[in-house]
Structure 1
Amino acid sequence: MMSDTISIQEALIYVMVITSASDASMTDAELATMGGVVKTLPVFTDYDPGNVLPAAQRCGERLQEPEGLSDVLALVADTLPVHLFDTAYALAVEVAAADLDVSKEELRILQLLRDRFNLDKLTVAAIERGAIARHRRG
């Protein structure tokens, strides 16, 4: 694994990227969601939105390495403070729900994140229910 460290914001971007890229296609809706999250959430207040694409590319490079996904998950978990684990999961759910079609690969990533972050069922259910409500069409 590449041993360099990443920022908290970059770790959150990695979570969104691995979720979006898991089904081998990053849709326009998913990319728009990532951009919107970075521009609006308080955790990204001092983060330059122009850094999203380079961060996503670095994540993609890491994913190409042997054991890439496990290494990215470990790096994210080591970088994020525990109080942001639910935030990271919420961002992954937002990206998965963005195109209104959650693939089995995205579901697998969400499962890996739940396990890695040791999130309780109530927290997970609340995050997922909130995303369903936000993305519902009239």
Structure 2
Amino acid sequence: MNETIEHALSPQDCLVMLMIAVSVSDQTVRTSELIKIENQVNTLPIFGTFDIDRLPQLANTVYDLFAEEDGLDALFGLVRDNMPEKLNETAYALCCDVAAADGTIRVGELRLLEEIRDELDIDRLHAGAIERGARARHMTI
């Protein structure tokens, strides 16, 4: 079993794993999505104490989970067990930003965002505002 799963994850680990999950949800990890994840980890206050060297390990954990039949449920279980509810909207906002990073939100990303929204119990009105903000931040001319 992956070492990350055997040890408690930090709330930041959970946020990163959700962002990575959105990136891989459409079967293609795009450079713009990886850059978005790295930029968010490097600049947002929530990641102030996060060890960026954990990114590859967390990515491998997500890949391993997605290779399993119930991997998404397992990921959500890890998030439930290791991330406080007060970060649910933060997690959804970060995931929306990753999905929007390349200018196109694909079907796999939309489906996963919907599942994340449901799993994290994000109110539909709040989710709409978060989604609109992500769209506005990633608009091009």
TM-score when scaled to structure 2? 0.91
Structure 2 portions without partners, runs of 5+: none
The aligned counterpart of 1:32 is: 35
The aligned counterpart of 2:128 is: 125
Say yes or no: does 1:81 pair with 2:80. Answer: no
The aligned counterpart of 1:62 is: 65
- Looking at structure 2, the residues matched to 133 and 66 of structure 1 have their Cα atoms a distance apart, in angstroms, of 35
- Looking at structure 2, the residues matched to 114 and 66 of structure 1 have their Cα atoms a distance apart, in angstroms, of 21
RMSD between aligned residues: 1.4
% identical aligned pairs: 38
- Looking at structure 1, the residues matched to 80 and 71 of structure 2 have their Cα atoms a distance apart, in angstroms, of 14
Structure 1 portions without partners, runs of 5+: none
- Looking at structure 1, the residues matched to 53 and 77 of structure 2 have their Cα atoms a distance apart, in angstroms, of 25
Q: Deviations over 1:87-117 (max 9, x none)?
A: 0001110110001111111001011011111
Instruction: Report the alpha carbon displacement of residue 37 of structure 1 after superposing the two structures with TM.
Output: 0.5
- Looking at structure 1, the residues matched to 7 and 67 of structure 2 have their Cα atoms a distance apart, in angstroms, of 16
Letter in 2 for 1:62: L
Name the count of aligned residue pairs.
138
Letter in 2 for 1:133: A
Say yes or no: does 1:94 pair with 2:97. Answer: yes
The aligned counterpart of 2:52 is: 49
TM-score when scaled to structure 1? 0.93
Partner of 2:126, secondary structure, is helix
Instruction: Report the alpha carbon displacement of residue 4 of structure 1 after superposing the two structures with TM.
Output: 3.9
Instruction: Report the alpha carbon displacement of residue 77 of structure 1 after superposing the two structures with TM.
Output: 2.3
Instruction: Report the alpha carbon displacement of residue 134 of structure 1 after superposing the two structures with TM.
Output: 0.6
The aligned counterpart of 2:108 is: 105
Instruction: Report the alpha carbon displacement of residue 63 of structure 1 after superposing the two structures with TM.
Output: 2.1
- Looking at structure 2, the residues matched to 3 and 65 of structure 1 have their Cα atoms a distance apart, in angstroms, of 16
